[in-house]
Structure 1
Amino acid sequence: MSGPERVTAGDDRPEDGAADSAPVLGGRPPRRSGLRNPERAVRGLGAGTLSLEALVLVLAIQPIRVVGGDLGGAAIGAVVALAVAAVLLAGMMRRPWAWPAGTALQGLLMLAGLLHWSLFVLGVVFALVWAYALHVRRVILG
């Protein structure tokens, strides 16, 4: 028979016989994220989350003092220290230890709830946001 090779239905191998280099799960190649640089996108997500957390922490000091009352010097110092740590971690998202350190930061913020109840609430909110960022990281990077 002259001409192109016939391909039967269900035969999705390349005609030139080259093997597909991507691992196949359930008969389908893995889904790509569509991002040019997924690692960079995930680092940006983590850095943005930590930067937003730092901003919220610093801006929350005065409303907590006015509305919640009795926000002592130790609590203000803890908030400022946590905000500085969040900014530093946001700048270090290329390091492999930055993601676990960000998780520890969320725990420290919840622990700061011992100084004032509103810090615990902020800790829970940002722990949920951080958990979502970790989920997105796992989905994109595998």
Structure 2
Amino acid sequence: MTAPDPVRAARALGGAAAAILMIEGIAVLFVPRGIAQSDGGLGGGRLAYLLVLALVFILAAGLQRRPWGLYVGTALQVPLLLTGLLNNVMWFLGGAFVLIWLYLLQVRKELIGSPFGPARAPEHDDGGSTGTTTP
């Protein structure tokens, strides 16, 4: 099943991808609070990693208009999942976001025909006749 207007569907799914990345960036900003209460505490390296990661997610949300934006968003799912090494709750939360991202790619594949490829405009029939008419 493909969308009647794949270009429009691609734009809509790009907006959904940007929204997911923004929410992931905000979720990463909550991680330092949980780490600070743990035994190891929140060191400068951990804090810097999380702040940079959150910033990269927010910037990647703006890149979703570019053809390679989905590649960046997909690659960022790995460091998001690896934040589980800093706080165990992030294994669950990161896993949930990865599943949401994979679902978005699956919907994109169904509507556009490719999870990463460019959307092509549908070929419209101009309504021209082939020379035969029907009464």
Could you tell me how far apart the structure 1 residues matched to 2:4 and 2:50 are?
A: 36
Aligned residues: 112
Unpaired stretches in structure 2, ≥5 consecutive residues: 114-135
The superposition leaves residues 82-109 of structure 1 with CA deviations (integer Å, 9 ceiling, x where unpaired) of: 1111111100112222112111111112
2:42 maps to 1:71: yes
From the CA coordinates, give the structure whose radius of gyration is larger: 1
Q: Equivalent residue for 1:7?
A: none
Q: Secondary structure of the equivalent of 2:65?
A: coil
2:50 maps to 1:60: no
Report if aligned partners of 1:75, 1:116 keep a CA contact under 8 Å in 2: no
Deviation of 1:139 (Å): 1.8
Report if aligned partners of 1:51, 1:87 keep a CA contact under 8 Å in 2: yes
Q: Secondary structure of the equivalent of 1:93?
A: helix
2:27 maps to 1:37: no
What TM-score do the two structures reach when normalised by structure 1? 0.66
The superposition leaves residues 41-99 of structure 1 with CA deviations (integer Å, 9 ceiling, x where unpaired) of: 01101000001111111133224423x44333322222111111111110011222211
Unpaired stretches in structure 1, ≥5 consecutive residues: 1-29
Q: Equivalent residue for 1:87?
A: 58
Q: 1:35 to 1:100 in 2, by over 3 A?
A: closer
Report if aligned partners of 1:42, 1:137 keep a CA contact under 8 Å in 2: yes
Q: Percent identity?
A: 35
Report if aligned partners of 2:35, 2:86 keep a CA contact under 8 Å in 1: no
86, 90, 100: which one aligns with 1:119: 90
Q: Cα RMSD between the aligned structures? A: 2.4
Q: Equivalent residue for 2:21?
A: 50
Report if aligned partners of 2:2, 2:110 keep a CA contact under 8 Å in 1: no
Q: Secondary structure of the equivalent of 1:119?
A: helix
Query: Whose RCO is larger (CA < 8 A, sep 6+)?
Result: 2
Q: Secondary structure of the equivalent of 1:57?
A: helix
Report if aligned partners of 1:46, 1:133 keep a CA contact under 8 Å in 2: yes
